Amino acid sequence: MIVKRGMLGLVLGTALLSATACLESEKAVSVTLPSVELNQIDSNGKYKEPVTLRIGYYTNLESKWPEGSNDSFSNNRYTQRLEDMLNIKFVHAFEYPLSDYAQRVSMLISGKDIPDFLLVTEAQFNILAKADMLEDMTSLYEQYASPLLKDVIQGSGPKLMRRVTFNGRMLGIPSTLPAHDSDGVVWIRQDWLRKVGIQLPEAITIDDVERVARAFIEQDPDGNGKDDTHGIQSTSSFLTGTIGLNTLDPYFGAFKAFPKSWIKDEEGRIAYGSTTANTKQALGKLSELYRAGLIDEDFGSVKPDQYAKDISAGKAGIGTGYTSAPMKLLADSVKNNPKAEWDAHYLVAPDGSFYTRQPDPLGRIMVVKKGAKHAEAIILAINVMADMDNSVPGTAPVYMDSPGTNWSVRPIQATFRKDNTLVNRFQRLKDAADGKLPLEQLPKSDRKIVEDYLKGFSELAASPQDWAYTLYQYRGGNAVLSPLNVPVYNEFYGMTDTMEEKWGNLLNLENESFMRIIVGDKPLDYFETFVSEWRKQGGDTITREVKKEIAKQK
């Protein structure tokens, strides 16, 4: 097929999975000719000669490869697809463990020794931008970003684009997190509930959790005749900005408390959620539960990567996490005991609402080192990622036979999803299971999920990852789709000047103060001392800066 010169830009600005069909149906479209020489790229948007991109990479020990495969972080189905479609190869400039990635990248930035392509945090992006170390992506983004990718980024509002813009120039490509990506739910073993004679609705209260925790500790739910089962658990990372694996985050939502978020207080003023009366009330209840022995006494010393140890061993029947938590939190429980049954419950506040703190829509930022060759190639690769992330029709699934192998093993370790991607998918899957939507109308990647769900969870237990993935989509999805679900958005995302200097110390003050209150090392009224110290050590200044930034955005 002969492609006119004016059409080449269109090919480069699509997801490239069905380029020929797109060109045939869009012949009237005229776009700006890309700056890349015509002899470098063929009519389907593929480089004629291999293009190699040096990129920073983190390794995640939780990643699971399909059984029997030889896949690796540097050579897998994602890298092969990008090479087949675009003739782009990725070489890892470094491989750091996920736990060390941010710190090691900061060290590279300090030494002005970054690779050509790198995912960075917003704070790291600001340092690089001020140091004039980044390639200007403004015109490249306009020329090469697909309509879908632009829709993804613009759909998160103008605030997102401002955060990757410096002195009027776009210096990075933002990855995105969709709404409800981290709604926090409480996962409870249903076979244990039957054993202790408790029935629960999907929506539960903090009093329900207290009752279940006490029963799980005292009534030998595992039936081994030993006093060895646990109630509420958490790791040392017990509080996050949204939700973590086996954290105490959902229990704060039960008091309409939103620590680590910028919110509007009862009088409509901007306030830091960790300093509000509702947060104090939540801490008081958690301290009460700890004194009653319902929260494990060693929770403050449990490392974050040990979040599933007691659940996997069949010694704990309550866990917290986002809707997708079963794959990491619960799968080994069923692997070790196929009779273990789990379900999602969500904690409601006294007003009956399930308050879900929404994630920052900005994930990490893809930046290009100033002067790097083929800066446009990273945008072409991201176009392909965006097609996958948004289930574009005709997009062949990747790793659907291995749900434990997720996007984090891609050469570009970020997602580019529309704001409503998750909600729409949960609704599609529910409608299909209820017979309201024919399977043929689902993306191929979704059909197996429905078929697995219709088999029943007991049938899926023989394949723990399939079981966990289906539990996530349906039971976790139910929590997202609940009419009680009230999303809570942060009033401010980003960093102010004083935050860059003092935020780390303030977070340490907060975490230490909250921990001491929960375990009883300090009385509840110590909360007032924390608030006073927080304000003195920079909190008041930061609050003023946040208010000014919010006013600018409006």
Global pTM value: 0.83
Is the distance from CB of 197 to CB of 441 less than 8 angstroms? Answer: no
Distant-in-sequence, close-in-space partners of 192: CB < 8 Å, separation ≥ 6: 216, 221, 222, 317
HSE, side-chain direction, 13 A CA sphere, residue 529: 11
Q: How buried is 450 (Cβ within 10 angstroms: 0-12 exposed, 13-18 middle, 19+ buried)? A: buried
Write the pLDDT tens digit of every residue in 337-367. Answer: 999 999 999 999 999 999 999 988 999 999 9
For the chain, which residues score pLDDT lower than 50? 1-35, 38-39
One-letter-per-residue 3-state SS of 421-449: HHHHHHHHHHHHHCCCCCHHHCCHHHHHH
Domains (ranges, CATH) in the chain? Answer: 5-178+361-409 (3.40.190.10), 185-358+486-553 (3.40.190.10), 422-483 (no CATH)
DSSP 98-117: HHHHHHHHHHHHHTT---SE
Distance of CA 154 to the CA centre of its chain: 19
| Residue pointed to by tokens 């990008």 | 82
Separation of alpha carbons 471 and 454, rounded Å: 12
Tell me what pLDDT residue 308 has: 94
Write the pLDDT tens digit of every residue in 273-301. Answer: 999 999 999 999 999 999 999 999 888 88
Tell me what pLDDT residue 444 has: 77
